């Protein structure tokens, strides 16, 4: 070996060894108030906050309009940064580790940032969570009672149907139906309309959890432990995978999307399927794009009724340049009159207690939004704790990947359920719950 090569190799080893001795990351900080802090909305004039946001469509303009009102009311400036949902978590984590936290972010899961989030009770008092509906408020609290997020909109999964296709087939939509009835009706409608499929569902662990719940089980229980009832899960997965394997639900869609979340909205909008299980965030886009009459329909009941919850949260970062302004902005955006205004045009379901009691009048599609809203009361309470568990996302990923293998004929349902249960245990352990 030449001397130059030897020196280069030695340098590389020394650099690698010295790096290995260095712990990466930044030391933990605990900025933010430890005692209740007051917020003076008149003190923010000329100050700026950054709001990292992802959009489902119609909510973007509604949010921009509300931000303009906030700026006019306080004199503060909001720098709205819209990122693709797929890049949201990576982008936020990168900014946090680089010490460049935005003031506020819109997220679907606040747990990964819990150590950096403002406790809203420190700013707005211990009564602040009670301004929100109990189910929604519970999803924003950690195990020690801190309110680390504000639920800005709640979602509940449910089916949407192609009304024109149902009419053409002469099939009425019942006020209540079981899964067997839903599939039988959907098959009749698909056949009468020459549609290739009868039922579509997003490739998503959250959406598949709807079927699990309706068959009587959830993945993580209210005590934070593995609550998967293997027999019920096996029944649910057998029912669902049979639909996909027989192409009643599009098999190519399920297998062709790999490991990625994929919405089946395009299949529904293309008129290829009469029943599509998704959620109210589709209402605004469908109101704009659908070329046929459609409507939200009741969730099918099997062992239990109702849908499966989800939602979006606004979080404020205590390591940002202006955490007080961040907390104030989140609170202002979720005041009763402001949340109602955004909900109306963005087709969001409200999270505030007063608004869920009084209801929201939407610009149009009122009956569809009311249909989704009515599903909230029918949804079992353990689904809220399941969806809110820090271990849910990883468990839902396993639910999808194991279901994939059953659909592809690589394993049976029993093996899939055992693997899902093991993955839930692992996720709970990793989340420290």
Taking the least distance from each CB to another protein, the nearer of 262 and 338 is 262
3-state secondary structure of 272: coil
Taking the least distance from each CB to another protein, the nearer of 116 and 312 is 116
336-346 and 323-333 helices, crossing angle to 10°: 70
| 61, 364, 366, 410: which one binds another protein (CB under 8 A) | 410
How far apart are alpha carbons 422 and 403 in whole angstroms? 14
β partners of residue 310:
155
- Does residue number 115 form part of the binding site for another protein (CB under 8 A)? yes
- Does residue number 266 form part of the binding site for another protein (CB under 8 A)? no
| 68, 82, 94, 191: which one binds another protein (CB under 8 A) | 94
| 19, 35, 84, 175: which one binds another protein (CB under 8 A) | 19
| 260, 291, 337, 357: which one binds another protein (CB under 8 A) | 260
The stretch among 46-54, 112-120, 232-240, 360-368 that binds another protein (CB under 8 A) is 112-120
- Does residue number 427 form part of the binding site for another protein (CB under 8 A)? yes
Q: How far is the CB of 159 from another protein (least distance, A)?
A: 24
Interface map 389-408 toward another protein (x if CB under 8 A): ----xx--x---x--xx-xx
Report helix, strand and coil shares of the chain as percent, to nearest 5.
Answer: 50, 15, 35
For residues 24-63, which are near another protein according to CB under 8 A?
24-26, 28
How far apart are alpha carbons 140 and 233 in whole angstroms? 27
**Residues in contact with 46: Cβ distance below 8 Å, sequence separation at least 6, in sequence order:** 75, 76, 77
Q: How far is the CB of 283 from another protein (least distance, A)?
A: 27
Q: How far is the CB of 162 from another protein (least distance, A)?
A: 19
How far apart are alpha carbons 361 and 357 in whole angstroms? 12
Q: How far is the CB of 114 from another protein (least distance, A)?
A: 10
Residue 361, number of CB atoms within 10 A of its CB: 10
The stretch among 86-94, 288-296, 309-317, 412-420 that binds another protein (CB under 8 A) is 86-94
How far apart are alpha carbons 105 and 316 in whole angstroms? 7
230-245 and 413-431 helices, crossing angle to 10°: 120
The stretch among 15-23, 53-61, 122-130, 144-152 that binds another protein (CB under 8 A) is 15-23
| 55, 108, 193, 257: which one binds another protein (CB under 8 A) | 257
Phi, psi torsion values for 356, nearest 5 degrees: -70, -30
Q: Name which of 221, 259, 215, 264 is nearest 237 in CA terms.
A: 215
Interface map 165-204 toward another protein (x if CB under 8 A): -------------------------------x--------
Q: How far is the CB of 399 from another protein (least distance, A)?
A: 12
Q: Token pair of 349, please?
A: 């379901």
Taking the least distance from each CB to another protein, the nearer of 339 and 393 is 393
Alpha-helical (H) ranges within 313-412 are: 323-333, 336-346, 353-358, 366-378, 381-388, 392-407
For residues 273-332, which are near another protein according to CB under 8 A?
none
3-state secondary structure of 56: coil
Q: 151 near 311, Cβ under 8 Å?
A: yes
Count of alpha carbons within 13 angstroms of residue 53, beta-carbon side: 20
Q: 315 near 148, Cβ under 8 Å?
A: yes
- Does residue number 259 form part of the binding site for another protein (CB under 8 A)? yes
- Does residue number 89 form part of the binding site for another protein (CB under 8 A)? yes
Q: Which residues bind another protein (CB under 8 A)?
A: 15-16, 19-20, 22-26, 28, 89-90, 93-94, 96-97, 112-113, 115-116, 196, 251-252, 255-260, 262, 393-394, 397, 401, 404-405, 407-408, 410, 427, 430
């Amino acid at each position: 070996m030449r001397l130059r090569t030897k020196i280069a190799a030695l340098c590389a080893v020394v650099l690698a060894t010295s790096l290995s001795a260095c712990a990466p990351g930044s030391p933990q900080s605990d900025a933010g108030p430890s005692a209740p802090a007051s917020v003076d909305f008149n003190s923010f004039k000329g100050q700026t906050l950054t709001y990292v946001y992802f959009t489902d469509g119609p909510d973007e303009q509604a949010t921009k309009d509300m931000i303009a009102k906030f700026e006019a009311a306080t004199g503060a400036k909001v720098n709205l940064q819209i990122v693709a949902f797929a890049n949201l978590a990576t982008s936020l984590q990168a900014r946090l580790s680089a010490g460049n936290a935005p003031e506020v972010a819109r997220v679907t899961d606040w747990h990964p940032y819990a150590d950096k989030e403002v406790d809203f009770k420190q700013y707005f008092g211990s009564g602040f969570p009670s301004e929100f509906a109990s189910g929604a408020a519970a999803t924003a609290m950690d195990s020690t009672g801190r309110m680390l997020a504000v639920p800005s909109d709640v979602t509940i999964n449910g089916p949407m149907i192609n009304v024109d296709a149902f009419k053409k087939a002469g099939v009425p939509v019942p006020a209540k139906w079981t899964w067997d009835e839903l599939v039988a009706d959907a098959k009749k409608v698909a056949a009468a309309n020459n549609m290739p499929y009868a039922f579509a569902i997003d490739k998503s662990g959250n959406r598949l959890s709807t079927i699990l719940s309706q068959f009587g089980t959830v993945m993580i229980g209210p005590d934070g432990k593995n609550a998967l009832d293997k027999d019920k899960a096996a029944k649910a997965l057998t029912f669902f995978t049979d639909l996909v394997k027989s192409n009643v639900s599009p098999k190519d869609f399920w297998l062709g999307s790999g490991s990625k979340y994929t919405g089946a909205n395009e299949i529904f909008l293309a008129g290829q399927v009469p029943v599509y299980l998704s959620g109210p965030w589709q209402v605004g886009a469908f109101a704009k794009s659908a070329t046929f009459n459609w409507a939200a329909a009741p969730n099918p009941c099997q062992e239990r009724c109702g849908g499966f919850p989800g939602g979006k949260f606004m979080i404020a970062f205590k390591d940002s340049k202006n955490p007080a302004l961040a907390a104030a902005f989140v609170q202002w955006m979720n005041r009763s009159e402001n949340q109602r205004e955004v909900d109306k045009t963005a087709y969001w379901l409200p999270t505030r207690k007063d608004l869920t009691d009084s209801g929201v009048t939407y610009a149009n599609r009122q009956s569809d939004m009311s249909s989704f809203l009515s599903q909230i009361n029918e949804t079992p309470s353990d689904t809220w704790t399941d969806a809110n568990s820090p271990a849910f996302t990883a468990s839902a990923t396993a639910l999808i990947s194991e279901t994939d293998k059953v659909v592809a004929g690589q394993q049976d349902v029993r093996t899939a359920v055992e693997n899902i249960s093991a993955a839930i245990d692992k996720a709970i352990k990793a989340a420290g719950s």
